[in-house]
């Protein structure tokens, strides 16, 4: 029997919104990923298994062959570069925007500013494309706090509803990218397991279209 395809997912929003797309393919975990202590989960399809990893680790597992496929946010792919991966399907889930944000009256032009973010590579490229130099401060959470205490002039972060920004007296200032979850595939697996992966990609794309009402 051929080795099952391994699909890398992360807990949380992406996992919750990916499962309804896989269900029409007959792929459902035999254990609840939210509560199971197991990191490798069999599914109702014996030819597919799930591994549960950190969201930022999904591209790494797929690129280096720890998984054949994975679901990763476009923000993670932009930050890490997406090397060694195919990105065949935009799943249209976990939508948000990557934005520069700060105080509504912030004057960020004409001077070197400090920007707090966990997306240091994306942020550097964004400002470099504008010919602007910035000092980057890497943070992993509570990003909105940085402008409030004078740590940074602005932040770069994911914005969904904008409620957290508004609650802290901040506002979106510049868009960087529209973000959604993408299906990524290991390039070697695409060649060696083409017969299994190609039909799966087509079915997932059909499931995405149905989910979007197209």
Same-domain status, 51 and 14:
yes
Pair 113, 64 in one domain: no
Q: Are 24 and 207 in contact (CB under 8 A)?
A: yes
Query: Tell me: the pLDDT tens digits for 23-66?
Result: 999 999 999 988 889 999 999 999 999 999 999 999 999 999 99
Residue 163 belongs to a domain with what CATH number?
Answer: 3.40.190.10
113: phi then psi, degrees, rounded to nearest 5: -115, 165
91 with 118, same domain: the answer is no
- Same domain membership, residue 112 and residue 83: no
* Averaged pLDDT for residues 106-133: 93
Mark whether 29 and 62 lie in a shared domain. yes
On the question of pLDDT at 143 being above 80, the answer is: yes
Claim to verify: residue 21 and residue 44 sit in the same structural domain: yes
Domain that holds residue 186: 5-95+179-213
Listing DSSP states for 85-130 in one string gives: EEEEEE---S-EEEEEEE-TT---TTS-EEEEES-HHHHHHHHHHT
Same domain, yes or no: 9 and 91 = yes
Same domain? 81 vs 183: yes
Q: What is the pTM of this model?
A: 0.92
Helical axes 194-211 vs 13-22, angle rounded to 10°: 100
Distance between CA 29 and CA 145 in Å, rounded?
38
pLDDT band for 122, please (50, 70, 90 cuts): very high
SS3 182: strand
Instruction: Say how many CA atoms lie within 13 Å of 83 toward its Cβ.
Output: 4
Q: For residues 188 and 67, what is the distance between their CA atoms, to the nearest angstrom?
A: 11
- In the chain, the number of structural domains is 2
* Same-domain pairing of 134 and 187: no
Q: Reply yes or no on whether the pLDDT at 114 is more than 80.
A: yes
Instruction: Say whether pLDDT at 213 is over 80.
Output: no
* Residues 12, 53 contacting (CB under 8 angstroms): no
130: left (phi over 0), alpha (psi -120 to 50) or beta: alpha
Say whether both 190 and 89 belong to one domain: yes
Q: What average pLDDT does the structure give for the chain?
A: 94
pLDDT tens profile 167-186: 999 999 999 999 999 999 99
Residues 87 and 9 placed together within one structural domain of the fold: yes
The whole-number average pLDDT for the span 123-138 is: 95
Based on the number of CB atoms within 10 Å of its own CB, is 127 exposed (0-12), middle (13-18) or buried (19 or more)? buried
- The pLDDT, as a whole number, for residue 136 is 98
Comparing 30-39, 87-96, 161-170, 193-202, the range with the smallest average pLDDT is 30-39
Q: What are the tokens at 186?
A: 């290991």
Q: What is the mean pLDDT of residues 89-113?
A: 93
Calpha distance 145→112 (Å, rounded): 20
Q: Which own/partner contact pairs does 208-213 have at CB distance under 8 Å and 24+ positions apart? A: 208/21, 208/89, 208/90, 208/91, 208/92, 210/24, 211/20, 211/21, 211/92, 211/93, 212/92
Residues 154 and 202 in one domain: no
Q: Can you tell me whether residue 73 is helix, strand or coil?
A: strand
């Amino acid at each position: 029997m051929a080795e099952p395809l391994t699909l890398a997912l992360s807990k949380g929003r992406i996992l919750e919104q990916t499962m309804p797309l896989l269900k029409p393919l007959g792929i459902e975990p035999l254990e609840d990923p939210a509560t199971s202590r197991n990191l490798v989960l069999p599914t109702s399809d014996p030819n597919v298994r799930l591994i549960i990893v950190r969201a930022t680790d999904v591209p790494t597992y797929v690129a280096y062959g720890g998984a054949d496929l994975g679901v990763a946010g476009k923000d993670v792919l932009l930050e890490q570069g997406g090397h060694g991966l195919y990105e065949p399907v935009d799943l249209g889930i976990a939508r948000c925007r990557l934005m520069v944000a700060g105080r509504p009256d912030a004057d960020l032009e004409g001077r070197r500013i400090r920007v707090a973010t966990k997306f240091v590579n994306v942020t550097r490229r964004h400002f470099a494309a504008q010919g602007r130099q910035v000092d980057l401060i890497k943070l992993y959470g509570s990003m909105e706090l940085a402008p409030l205490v004078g740590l940074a002039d602005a932040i770069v972060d994911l914005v969904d509803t904008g409620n957290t920004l508004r609650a802290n007296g901040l506002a979106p200032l510049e868009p960087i990218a529209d973000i959604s979850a993408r299906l990524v595939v290991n390039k070697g697996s695409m060649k060696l397991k083409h017969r299994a992966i190609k039909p799966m990609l087509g079915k997932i794309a059909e499931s995405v279209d149905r989910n979007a009402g197209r």
